[in-house]
A and B are shown apart, each in its own frame.
Chain A
Amino acid sequence: MNKKIPNSILETLSLLQREKFVANHELATMVFLSLSLNRPLLLEGPSGVGKSKLANVLAEGLGRRLIRLQCYEGLDISSSIYEWNYAGQMIEIRLAEQGNFTDKEVLLKNVFSERFLVKRPILEALAHTEEDAPVLLIDEIDRADSGFEAFLLEILSDFQVSVPELGAIGCDKPPIILLTSNRTRAISDALKRRCFFYQITYPDALAESKIIKQKVPEIGRKLTETLEELVHNSRLKRLRFEDLGGNSMAWANTLLELDREEVDSRTTGHKVSQFLLRQQQGSTQNGSNQIVELEHSILSDVEE
């Protein structure tokens, strides 16, 4: 399998497709640009549209390791970038004391060396030792405090972290960085300037049915099979006079018909959702009345 960075937008598309990720051309373009220009990609959109999934897919498709940093309120440097191993440092000092090792300068250098640096996700992604740089997913950046974005600025533009005691830690091959946001708050412009920005929206009906086909390929057939079972059972029930009302039979028939026929989401579906929107506007007194009106309008559609 080709695990190289794609050379064109079309290659990017096919890479995503291979990993069963339904992406439109625009998203593929953004991913391609971000991969080839080494610039982070900031994805915004409602939950459940596959923002984080894209990082998984890229890591999988390019054969990279995925390092994920889940943001939360109060996230700070010590749990996201690096931290000193204090316990280790204490032991080192104690040992030095016992061994009558007294050269202060050397001791200090020893104690603040990379050996005692605990790498957190971001530093881990930057100071990687693998051949291919990993994929770094900074998930739900909008959950972190806005102050945290400032930490990210250096990392996103120069791909390095400055540790005061050690100096800057950088890397030759910058990781592929993806940031996601649910838009619960605005992301600062400084951060946005350093990234490619793409807004993922809910897919249209065609794309969504593609997604379903890829994720659960046999679902249509499976449902039809279970439906046959259901119809069979309800017929049996009817034969045994267990269900004289015929409720389950009617339901099975409805499902059968809906299995053969797709509800036209442009007319009926649209009307239903518009109706629901109006219902949400809080007119409870006339609910039944409006349902009647809606039925009339759907009927008039069917007539046409």
Chain B
Amino acid sequence: MSSQEQNDGVQTGRLASNIMHFARVLRAAGFPIGPGKTIEALEAVALIKLGPREDFYWALHGIFVERYSQAEIFDQAFRLFWRSPTELRQMMALAKPNAKNEENASSKEKIRRRVADALTSENSGKEEEEDNPELEFDITMTYSDSEILQEMDFESMSVEEIEEAKRVIAEMRLPIMEIPTRRYRLDERGNRIDMRATLKAGLRSNIGIMLLKHRRKVKRHPPLVVLCDISGSMSRYSRMFLHFVHAITNDRDRVQTFIFGTRLTNITRQLQNRDVDIALDRVAASATDWSGGTRIGESLHDFNRYWSRRVLGQGAVVLLITDGLDRGDIEGLEKEMARLKGSCRRLIWLNPLLRFEGFRPEARGVKAIMPFVNDFRAVHSLSRLRDIGEALSRVRSAEWFFEETME
């Protein structure tokens, strides 16, 4: 710090340095601010004689903000930076007794870890190399851009990278398996003889020979039901997932999508708009529980009660996207999970938290969900999102083989 040169016994006069630090914070946030601007800001502040908060704000605003889009960021930076240190300490003191409350402490700890995680993974991947192997590619730079993008955590992406990822997602297709239905279709290479068609064809011809006609069961993608968590702990991911869900909704028929935080919302119709931005705007408008708490149990109960009979017909596959961190009633959750499992062909759980190597299913919610899922996958990067395709196509499991040979 510049405190070495300011050690000449003067306690005051740090305001100038703080304005400089503020400029540096903005610079780090992407503002094109050179030292020239910092000096201008200092002069401007001196000119208005500091003045009330508004004057001070607008003086700095006038110097630093060049574009409309920067205004909001400036506003937040100002609010966060120009605060009294004592007040901060007092807030800390107030927060301390609360920390004794166990529930509070654990949730706060969680938040802290998440923030710390996000911050460290963003600023210096070097220290985190072992913890987060996915970031290695970023550091070594031996991979091409697209590969880096493939492996990058959604949480640590920059604006451009997110745009790029959205583009990749928009092109994604799920190679979901096809399952035979009860209907038949005429097929020359079918494995069953179609007696009716054979007789009909035989009557039509008069050569005295009947050529056998064959038929085969019609195959179809099973319906896909997506249940996506949009609670606070998932907020960074749910945006990407919604893009993903939009891509697969428009890729095929019979996709039903629900989002839940504290309550369940069906967003299938909203997602049907071809334009992803319009679709997501509508989704945003239709749900009221964005980034709030999670009540997986109640939400699943609602689903089971009001929707499962309608949308889980014909061997539907369910994608459950959540981190499993639940505030609600765990016993209820187990019951609902069991019912959900019982009413679908296959239940696949996509969990972004799985990227942490030390992830253990210790949260009660996670423990409750675990026994009922057929497949459990990490989805925090593009390549992992691709893997889901693989998981879905693997559904051609024993049951499918069984049906095939029974015919």
Cα A215 to Cα B38 in complex, Å, equals 11
A224 touches B34 (CB 8 A): no
**Neighbouring B residues of A220 by C-beta, 8 Å:** 12-17
Cα A257 to Cα B83 in complex, Å, equals 9
| Most chain A CB within a 10 A radius of its CB, from B21, B158, B291 | B21
CB distance from B325 to the nearest CB of A (A): 15
Q: Is B182 an interface residue (CB 8 A)?
A: no
B159 touches A281 (CB 8 A): yes
Interface secondary structure of B, over-half rule: helix
A219 touches B1 (CB 8 A): no
Q: Is A162 an interface residue (CB 8 A)?
A: no
Cα A226 to Cα B51 in complex, Å, equals 9
B50 touches A296 (CB 8 A): no
**Neighbouring A residues of B291 by C-beta, 8 Å:** 285-286, 289
Q: Is B122 an interface residue (CB 8 A)?
A: yes
Cα A12 to Cα B386 in complex, Å, equals 58
A208 touches B20 (CB 8 A): yes
Across chains A and B, the number of contacting residue pairs, with CB separation under 8 Å, is: 237
B87 touches A223 (CB 8 A): no
Q: Is B53 an interface residue (CB 8 A)?
A: yes
Contact pattern, B 6-46, Cβ under 8 Å of A = 1, otherwise 0: 00000111111110111011111110111111110011011
Cα A250 to Cα B56 in complex, Å, equals 14
Cα A283 to Cα B280 in complex, Å, equals 13
**Neighbouring B residues of A272 by C-beta, 8 Å:** 25, 77, 80-81
Stretch among B112-120, B199-207, B395-403 lining the A interface: B112-120
Q: Is A102 an interface residue (CB 8 A)?
A: no
A227 touches B159 (CB 8 A): no
Point out the residue from A219, A259, A268, A277 that lies within 8 Å of B42, measured CB to CB: A219
Contact pattern, A 236-278, Cβ under 8 Å of B = 1, otherwise 0: 0000000000011011011101111111110011111111111
Cα A203 to Cα B39 in complex, Å, equals 13
Stretch among A43-51, A59-67, A71-79, A147-155 lining the B interface: A43-51
Cα A54 to Cα B203 in complex, Å, equals 99
Cα A297 to Cα B73 in complex, Å, equals 19
Point out the residue from B11, B45, B77, B83 that lies within 8 Å of A223, measured CB to CB: B45
Q: Is A205 an interface residue (CB 8 A)?
A: yes
CB-based nearest A residue for B82: A254
A224 touches B35 (CB 8 A): no
**Neighbouring A residues of B112 by C-beta, 8 Å:** 296-297, 300
**Neighbouring B residues of A302 by C-beta, 8 Å:** 88-89, 92
Cα A203 to Cα B162 in complex, Å, equals 30
Interface secondary structure of A, over-half rule: helix
Q: Is A206 an interface residue (CB 8 A)?
A: yes
Contact pattern, B 76-94, Cβ under 8 Å of A = 1, otherwise 0: 1100111111111101100
B21 touches A203 (CB 8 A): no
A258 touches B84 (CB 8 A): yes
Q: Is B284 an interface residue (CB 8 A)?
A: yes
Assuming A260-B14, A265-B24, is B46 touching A202 (CB within 8 A)?
Answer: no
Assuming A206-B2, A277-B28, A298-B88, is B35 touching A48 (CB within 8 A)?
Answer: yes
| Most chain B CB within a 10 A radius of its CB, from A49, A227, A263 | A263
CB distance from B40 to the nearest CB of A (A): 9
**Neighbouring B residues of A297 by C-beta, 8 Å:** 111-112, 115-116, 119
Point out the residue from A206, A254, A276 that lies within 8 Å of B77, measured CB to CB: A276
Point out the residue from A48, A49, A258, A283 that lies within 8 Å of B82, measured CB to CB: A258
A280 touches B115 (CB 8 A): no
Assuming A211-B39, A248-B52, is B30 touching A277 (CB within 8 A)?
Answer: yes
B17 touches A262 (CB 8 A): yes
A226 touches B50 (CB 8 A): yes
Q: Is A229 an interface residue (CB 8 A)?
A: yes
Q: A254-B82, A276-B26, A285-B235 are in contact. List 19 more A-B contacts (CB 8 A).
A: A48-B36, A48-B37, A212-B38, A219-B46, A227-B50, A230-B50, A230-B51, A270-B123, A272-B25, A272-B80, A273-B77, A276-B30, A276-B76, A277-B29, A279-B72, A286-B235, A289-B235, A295-B91, A302-B88
Q: List 22 A-B contacts (CB under 8 A).
A: A46-B32, A48-B32, A49-B34, A211-B39, A216-B42, A220-B14, A223-B15, A247-B52, A250-B84, A251-B52, A259-B15, A262-B2, A262-B21, A263-B22, A265-B21, A269-B21, A272-B77, A274-B118, A274-B119, A279-B76, A283-B236, A289-B232
- A interface residues (Cβ-Cβ under 8 A, vs B): 46-50, 202-203, 205-206, 208-213, 215-216, 219-224, 226-227, 229-230, 247-248, 250-251, 253-255, 257-265, 268-283, 285-287, 289, 291-300, 302-303
